[in-house]
Amino acid sequence: MTNQQTNKVTAWRCVVCGYIHHGESPPEFCPVCNAPASEFEPYAKSEPDTQPVTAGKWRCLVCGYEHEGDGPPDTCPVCGVGSNRFESIPVAEATNDEKRPEVRHVVVLGGGIAGISAAESARKHMPDIKITLVTAEMQLPYYRINLTRYLAGEIEASSLPLHPEDWYKSRQIDFISGVEAKRIDLEQSEVVLENGTRISYDKLILALGAHPYVPSFPGTQFDGVTTLRNREDTDCILSAVSEGASCVIVGSGILGLETAGGIARRGGKVTLLEQSEYLMPRQLNRAAAGLLLNRLNDIGIDCHLNAKVSELIGNGHVTGVRLKSGELLPADLVVIATGVRSNTKLAVDAGLKVNHGVLVDDFLYTSNPDILAAGDVAEHRGLLYGTWSAAQSQGIIAGMNAGGAQAEFGGIPRAHTLKVLGLNLVSIGVFEPLDDTYRIVAEEKDGFYSCFVFKDNKIAGSILLGNSKSVSFVKKAIENNKDCSVLFSKQPTVDEVLKFLKDT
């Protein structure tokens, strides 16, 4: 067998969103973020070494995954970074090879990307155990972040599912849909479903996701007022949108912007409300937000900044939105996109430690030694990521650790990708200087905007507006905390920064 055959690539990782594609070549476009094939890199599917430690252990500096062997792996099987991002673990720190309790049944609650990744990872690392996946939604698990693309008419409903039904059967994953978990019986190690069914577990993975946050202003109970979190919400919006219908979107985060763009493409007359001074203050600086505002205006979306809602007006069905300024905006449809809250009730009722999310350690274990958590429900080191790539990585690690592995989640740079408004917009890591110890290199040119933030001469974050070709190597540089000291013998230009990051 040739080396080429031995090293044949069978999986690819989208460097923009973290999606993993299985096949001998990358897809033409990422089904998650629509990035082209050029934004995919080979992804290592190698299993962690389960043989006794003979030479040492190696820790991934990006995600915390631990590898046993003579040297680090070529690429991390969890986050995909190269061998140069591994450090040797002193023998004293290495995990003892004590006999682990037998795991016969892993139960996963939640059918989002964290839950699916956890179930798939558990099966990969424990081929003979029983795995049960429970989701409250009736449909097969789907690409939740593609709902706005479905809303915009860019994809059909048939493209939404993560996997076909036989995928679960072929992996012997017992799939239970349309039923909610109501209680965790810690004493009996059982999950109690709303229909009374009790499912025993050896390890339980909470991948319960989040629910939309709806502010308390009057009128949210009217017909024609909705959120966008699931397939039913999307179909509800589609049924309400007609040519010229007045639609008000409350909130200009990623979901609000993508929803506004989708409705505009369907012919709706869209007004977008943002209570801050500029758009997407959690992801963008003022300069990038200004360019985004121009783009929204160009496609016919009316943006109101410093706009705070007083009440929704209607008589059974919503007819308008009154702002605290007194202005009344007509509305046939109101979509509230003001953020989400983690689904922590099950954990709270069970007595697990909870803050804004279910508290987890670096191994994604909760305060109970038999329960892990991943995705939007998990709070790690004070952070709720709320991103696809973080949920996927956490799901993979939780699935591994349910079987007794010691893989760590060390956190990843936050990467936000906008994909509906006809432009490429990526915000990664620190996008604005936090104090005067940070440096910034930024430039706006021909409608494109690039911004790089440095801390101690190492790249800490970036905003790229319209420059999708640079996303892959910029993201890698941020993940690797790349030292850029050589650039600062003088004040570098954006082009010089891009060339340095690409060439080195």
Read off the CATH number of the domain in which 246 is found.
Answer: 3.50.50.60
Look at residue 151 in the predicted model and tell me its pLDDT: 96
What pLDDT is attached to residue 34? 61
pLDDT at 92: 40
> Residue 143 falls within a domain, yes or no?
yes
Q: Within the chain, which residues score under 70 in pLDDT?
A: 1-7, 14-20, 30-35, 44-56, 60-65, 77-82, 84-85, 87-101, 418-420
Q: Tell whether 197 and 133 lie within a shared domain.
A: yes
Q: Each residue of 183-210: pLDDT tens digit? A: 999 999 999 999 999 999 999 999 999 9
Check residue 419 and give its pLDDT: 60
Are 123 and 169 found together in one domain?
yes
Asked if residue 346 and residue 333 are part of one domain, the reply reads no
Tokens of 127: 């081929």
285 with 320, same domain: the answer is yes
Q: Which residues pair with 465 in a beta bridge?
A: 425, 449
pLDDT at 331: 98
Q: How many structural domains is the chain composed of?
A: 4
182 shares a domain with 131: yes
Count of beta carbons in the 10 Å neighbourhood of residue 46? 11
Model-level pTM? 0.79
The 3-state DSSP class for residue 415 equals strand
CATH code (residue 450):
3.30.390.30
- Give the pLDDT confidence score for residue 420 in this predicted structure: 53
- Position 72 in a domain: no
The reply to whether 363 and 444 lie within a common domain is: no
Integer CA distances (angstroms), 187 to 101, 103, 193, in order: 17, 17, 16
Confidence (pLDDT) at 395: 96
pLDDT at 10: 74
Q: Is residue 78 part of a domain?
A: no
Residue 82 in domain:
no
Domain housing 37: 1-43
* pLDDT in the model for residue 17: 52
For residues 231 and 317, membership in a common domain is answered with yes
| Calpha distance 324→456 (Å, rounded) | 44
> Are residues 260 and 200 located together in one domain of the fold?
no
Q: Is residue 257 domain-shared with residue 345, that is, in the same domain?
A: no
SS3 469: helix
The bridge status of strand 225-226 relative to strand 333-336 is parallel
Same domain, 332 and 348: no
